[in-house]
Chains A and B, each alone.
Chain A
Amino acid sequence: MAITLRDVSFSYDGNKKILDGFSIEFPEKGAVCLMGPSGCGKTTLLRLIAGLEHPQSGTVTGLEGLRAAYVFQENRLLPWMTAFDNVAIASGGFGRQPDAAVWLEKMGLGGNQLKRPKELSGGMKQRVAIARALAAKANFIILDEPFAGLDISLWQQISDMILTEYSDKLIILVTHIPEQAVALKADVIKLDGPPLRFA
């Protein structure tokens, strides 16, 4: 079943509506890129899909039994854990998770598995966060400005990995850079707001 928002309204403080009767249906597989000005409500939409926020009215359906992987704008790594453990913890088995090593290797972080986030550069931390999302074996993936701080050749490589790993699953991307949508072969949906609407 496709992830669908129907007549969803949402506000953080009860005053300013970020979503006001917004509806959208995502495809079951393939990549979708949400584009729009900063603050238009894209991240809120992602948070509703991830179950981090609940609509004040309207419904979000199609999420039953689905696990999400989420690359946040911030890396959100656990500072007291190594890069390896940060990836392994999201993929179920903590401690011994060969996948975690494989993904870190693919991200070019093979030699940094036992480093803590504070020992890594901003770009490296972001790559650990992406490795965590890829190792999670989720049913769909949410990417909120996932390539910030990464150079172009790197995000093109990573886009290919994401496409391979999530080939028959839904990929939701938020970015301001059209080339990133192209790299992920995503259908672009232009948005505006708030409240969030199709542009």
Chain B
Amino acid sequence: MRRFTITLKSNKLFKGLVAAVFWVGVWQLISMAVAQELLVPAPLAVLSALSGLIKTMEFWRITGISLARIMLGFLSGIAAGCIAAALTTRFKAADCIISPFLRIVRATPVASFTILALVWINNDWLPVFISFLMVVPIVWSNLESGIKQIDVQLLEMAKVYRLGFLKTLIFVRIPSVMPYFMAACATAMGFSWKSGIAAEVISRPGLSVGRQLYNAKIYLETPGVFAWTITVVLISLCLEKLLAAAAKKFGSRFNA
């Protein structure tokens, strides 16, 4: 069994490696065909730009601050999404007022919000606000359908055995909704990170990945643009993996 899982894992790793080599090869060929570093820098040029970046303290500070900023938006978005879902499923009036608003927010492009919010919000806080705004509707709509799916039979059991509000919440409602919540977090994480970076590019707070991306573009440092983009993608993948691991650890407890 153990041997089998190891082979499976290394097989997956091997496949990933083959795919990576293939696409880097394609990239190399394109850059050779275009033959202009300004348009498509070679993989090696990007790698050297990236390795130059990660050696600096500045890089880690900038990445850390961007991450903290966007995580703040993400976490507050989750909290607000949970509250919104609780309200819209509990009170008809809240449903009438909040639901259409969140549907509009969900359908509005990030750029529109960012440009609008630039007028009202300080540059440093804009990415927080944008990632918050992206997360709320995702968490809300997932949780809302989760709450509607709670097994009525289990709620009746809780009522007959007089579990009361708190025990019913903790032992029946929350575990029922947990798989929906985990799925919402996984989706929202990617969204909030990418939209947060997009907001940073537009608002350009002092220390931010977005500003670095923008500057690299302005100064025609295309390898820099690529290097920062790779950073964004890598962090996005790490966050995804982290969340998937958390979902596996906690989520399986709640699967029926």
Q: CB distance A76 to B256 under 8 Å?
A: no
Q: Are A80 and B253 in contact (CB under 8 A)?
A: yes
How far apart sit A50 and B162, CA to CA, in the bound complex (Å)?
A: 11
Known A79-B256, A80-B253; judge A52-B156 contact (CB<8 A): yes
Which residue of chain B is the closest to A142 with respect to CB atoms?
A: B160
0/1 string, B209-249, CB within 8 A of A gives 1: 00000000000000000000000000000000000000000
- Summarize B's interface: helix, strand, loop or mixed: helix
CA distance A81 to B172 in the complex (A): 10
Which residues on B sit within 8 Å (CB–CB) of A22?
A: none
Total A residues in contact with B, Cβ cutoff 8 Å: 20
Question: Taking the nearest CB of chain B, how far is it from the CB of A192, in angstroms?
Answer: 26
Docked complex Cα distance between A52 and B256 (Å): 24
Residues from 149 to 165 in B contacting A, C-beta threshold 8 Å: 153-154, 156-157, 159-163
Contacts of B161 in A (CB 8 A): 69-70, 89-90, 132, 136
Interface pairs (22), CB distance under 8 Å: A51-B159, A51-B160, A52-B160, A68-B160, A69-B161, A70-B157, A70-B161, A72-B153, A72-B156, A74-B153, A76-B153, A76-B156, A76-B157, A78-B171, A78-B175, A79-B255, A79-B256, A80-B175, A80-B256, A89-B161, A89-B163, A94-B171
| A interface residue numbers (CB < 8 A to B) | 50-52, 67-70, 72, 74, 76, 78-81, 89-90, 94, 118, 132, 136
List residues of chain B with CB under 8 Å of any chain A CB. 153-154, 156-157, 159-163, 167, 171-172, 175, 253-256
